[in-house]
């Protein structure tokens, strides 16, 4: 009787969740070829096709749906049994998977993740950044990091820092040449760095004063979808940028950038680390939570 490894079974469930071999391969840390070979091997051993595959889509066959219905709960029990054993470790080790908005990941990298890895060298952090809201349980993550107001109500949340701010910034040279905006409407006459969201839509700058929100559809010479590229453009005096304050704090302190419309950027919700209730958390998980609480209390 053939024996099947857990990776082959995990692969089936990951492909079902992600909807593609490529996304599942990234999820499992495998090459697409290795994943395809594992599924092919399992299908040969079972004598049936688990997936219908075309160049554009992947879907379960009838046999595949039956297989997933039976294997899914059993595989969950196996992983929970493994977590129970890991929870008895004295020295934290293994992998922690964390999902975060890119800006949130940048904010916690230096004060939380890097100190944790120095303190616990046997632990591996798999940090995935993306702009969309993710079901951390359904997509196989141990933890998520989001603005506190976006954390699902059924999750346990740990505040990580005080309130944060957006910042409208440009170089002193740009403002000397073009003048400084005093109200949001002034931005329409300025060169601004446009931002494209993960869903492809152009971001409208959200500003607010005294409870009065304003959205500005800015215009400018370039559209970017990554904050570090936008920062480069602003530092080159190409135009005005809209950032999380934490992304340009050092530039502001050094005088390379200056703020505008500061009275239109009130505090926003703090960051929070969140996770589902767990019966038998691993030593690595408990150590990370403990450090997050410690750093959160001290304000990251």
Kindly give the confidence (pLDDT) of every residue in the chain, 300 residues in length, as a single tens digit, with 9 standing for 90 and above.
344 567 788 888 888 888 888 888 887 878 888 888 888 888 888 888 989 887 777 888 998 889 888 888 887 777 777 766 665 667 888 899 999 999 899 999 999 999 999 999 999 999 999 888 888 888 889 999 999 988 988 999 999 877 789 999 999 999 999 999 999 999 999 999 999 988 888 999 999 999 899 999 999 999 999 999 999 999 999 999 999 999 999 999 999 999 999 999 999 988 999 999 877 788 899 999 999 998 776 555
Q: What is the pLDDT of residue 1?
A: 32
Instruction: Label residue 204 left, alpha or beta by phi (over 0 means left) and psi (-120 to 50 means alpha).
Output: beta
DSSP state string for 103-169: HHHHHHIIIIIHHHHHH-TTEEEEEEE-SS---TTTTT-SEEEEEGGGS-TTSEEEE-SS-B-EEEE
Asked whether the domain spanning 166-264 has the same topology as the one spanning 94-154+271-297, the reply is yes
Query: Would you state the CATH architecture of domain 94-154+271-297?
Result: 3-Layer(aba) Sandwich (3.40)
Q: Are 140 and 97 in contact (CB under 8 A)?
A: yes
**Nearest by Cα to 264 from 189, 137, 157, 169:** 169
Q: What is the pLDDT of residue 88?
A: 61
And the tokens for 65? 């749906």
Q: Of the CATH numbers 3.40.640.10, 3.30.479.30, 3.40.190.290, 3.30.70.1520, which one belongs to the domain with range 166-264?
A: 3.40.190.290
Q: What is the pLDDT of residue 82?
A: 72
Q: What is the pLDDT of residue 17?
A: 85
| Rg of the chain, C-alpha, whole Å | 23
Q: How many angstroms separate the CA atoms of 116 and 105, rounded?
A: 14
In CATH, 6-86 is 3.90.1640.10: no
Taking CB atoms within 8 Å and a gap of at least 24, the contacts of 136-142 are: 136/99, 136/274, 136/275, 136/276, 137/276, 138/17, 139/17, 139/27, 139/99, 140/14, 140/17, 140/27, 140/97, 141/97, 141/98, 141/99, 142/96, 142/97, 142/98, 142/275, 142/285
Task: Return the residue matching tokens 């809201």.
Answer: 133
Residue-range domain boundaries for the chain: 6-86, 94-154+271-297, 166-264
Q: What is the pLDDT of residue 124?
A: 95
């Amino acid at each position: 009787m053939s024996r099947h490894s857990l990776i082959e079974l995990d692969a089936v469930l990951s492909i079902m969740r992600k909807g593609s071999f490529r996304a599942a391969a990234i999820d499992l840390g495998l090459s697409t070829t290795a994943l395809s070979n594992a599924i092919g091997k399992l299908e040969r051993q079972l004598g049936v096709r688990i997936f219908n595959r075309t160049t554009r889509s992947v879907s379960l066959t009838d046999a595949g749906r039956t297989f997933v219905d039976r294997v899914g709960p059993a595989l969950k029990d196996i992983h929970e049994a493994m977590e129970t054993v890991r929870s008895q470790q004295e020295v934290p080790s293994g992998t922690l998977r964390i999902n975060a908005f890119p800006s949130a990941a940048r904010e916690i990298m230096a004060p939380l993740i890097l100190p944790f890895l120095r303190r616990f060298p046997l632990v591996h952090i798999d940090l995935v950044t993306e702009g969309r809201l993710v079901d951390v349980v359904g997509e196989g993550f141990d933890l998520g990091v989001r603005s506190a107001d976006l954390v699902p109500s059924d999750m346990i949340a740990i505040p990580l820092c005080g309130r944060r701010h957006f910042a409208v910034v440009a170089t002193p040279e740009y403002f000397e040449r073009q003048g400084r905006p005093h109200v949001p409407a002034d931005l329409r006459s300025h060169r601004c760095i446009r931002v494209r969201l993960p869903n492809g839509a152009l971001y409208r700058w959200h500003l607010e004063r005294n409870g009065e929100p304003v959205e500005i559809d800015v215009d400018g010479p370039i559209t970017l979808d990554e904050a570090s590229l936008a920062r480069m453009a602003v530092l080159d005096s190409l135009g005005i940028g809209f950032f999380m304050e934490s992304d340009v704090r050092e530039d502001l302190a050094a005088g390379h950038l200056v703020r505008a419309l500061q009275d239109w950027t009130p505090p926003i919700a703090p960051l929070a680390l969140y996770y589902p209730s767990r019966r038998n958390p691993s030593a690595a998980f408990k150590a990370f939570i403990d450090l997050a609480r410690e750093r959160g209390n001290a304000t990251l």
